[in-house]
Amino acid sequence: MARLPVLFFVTALLISACNNSNGNRPSGNQQAAQAATNELPGQAVYQKNCKICHGSKGDLGLSGAANLRKSTLTPDEKIGVITFGRNGMAPHKDILTAEEIDQVAAYIETLHDE
């Protein structure tokens, strides 16, 4: 009879250990959510609207797009170009909100070469 409580305790301990073995590792969905929260403001909007011509690092230069890593424009000038367009770049005033334009301009600042 003394074996039954010991067997029950050992079984419960093993089940508990198995259930907690993945407790410290986030699931794939949790990792994706964490990666999304690590994005800078404007990064997702940039990736969706600007990456096609400027590239993910700002230096693709497709169809004559400016190299954003070497841009000498001020933040306000960047906002103007994004809003109203320039040379071959289309205006984004009807595509992006003013807040998104501000965020993209700020994000572009993070792409500069050091």
Tell the burial category of 30 from Cβ atoms under 10 Å away from its Cβ (0-12, 13-18, 19+).
Answer: exposed
Q: What is the pLDDT of residues 61-109, one digit of tens each?
A: 999 999 999 999 999 999 999 999 999 999 999 999 999 999 999 999 9
Q: Is the pTM of this model over 0.85?
A: no
Percentage of residues in the chain having pLDDT higher than 70: 68
Query: 21: pLDDT confidence band, cut at 50, 70 and 90?
Result: very low
> For domain 39-114, which CATH number applies: 1.10.760.10, 1.10.10.1100, 1.10.10.10, 3.40.50.800?
1.10.760.10
**Domain extent listing, the chain:** 39-114
